[in-house]
Amino acid sequence: MIQNASNILLQRYVRTASGDLFFSTTAIVCQELVKLVVSFLLLYMESFSLRELTNTINQQIVNNRLDSIKTGIPAFLYTLQNNLIYLAISNLNAAVFQVTSQIKILTTAILMVVMLKKSLRCLQWFSLFLLCVGVSIIQVQNVNVAKSSGDDQKNAFFGLICVVVACTLSGLAGVYFEKILKNSKVSIWVRNIPLAHCGSFISLLSAFVSDGE
């Protein structure tokens, strides 16, 4: 809860602060690189042996390229999602974004039912329905506030679209990644290494395309 709340507040602050702003695409590259370093560190901490770390990487990543390539799909989805989140947080206030982003719970649940064949109890479906009602109420209030300015209203609608798409991508990437983990005995830190590696490459390519100049 603390991590999610502070993450949204800090993202909103740095995207609305006065002065020159950083490129969001560059921030995403740095984010993926940090994930890569931390994944290597946590994998090393499982044995505290460089030889064991090297053997694990060679056996489960380098020699198992086809399995590692599968992580390129969620890496691409996460990179696209992160870009949309920066667009959304730049057009919505922190409270509205925080509430609206909870739609990812709904999208993840639906995709788990479709892709992983999981079943939800009636109480869980009712909880998801209440979540949708709450998000809808917040959005109606947000639109009413934004009506004072045509541009603000347009920005609020654009931010809403970005959040919805980002939440859908988040659910899809999360469920797909879980499906990969369930069909494999590989450590989650081993899985995170090719995921962060692919994410770094895709986000770096995105940064050059968007902000090459």
Q: Which tokens is 109 given?
A: 């649940």
The answer on pLDDT for 30 being more than 90 is yes
Q: What is the largest CA-CA distance in the chain?
A: 63
Euclidean distance between CA atoms 183 and 188, whole angstroms: 12
Per-residue pLDDT tens over the stretch 181-203: 776 777 778 888 888 888 899 99
Instruction: With beta carbons less than 8 A apart as the criterion, state whether 132 and 109 touch.
Output: no
User: How does pLDDT run across 69-117, given as a tens digit for each residue?
Assistant: 778 888 888 888 888 888 888 888 777 787 888 888 888 888 888 888 8
Which residues lie below 8 Å from residue 181, measured CB to CB, with a gap of 6+?
188, 191
pTM attached to this predicted model? 0.78
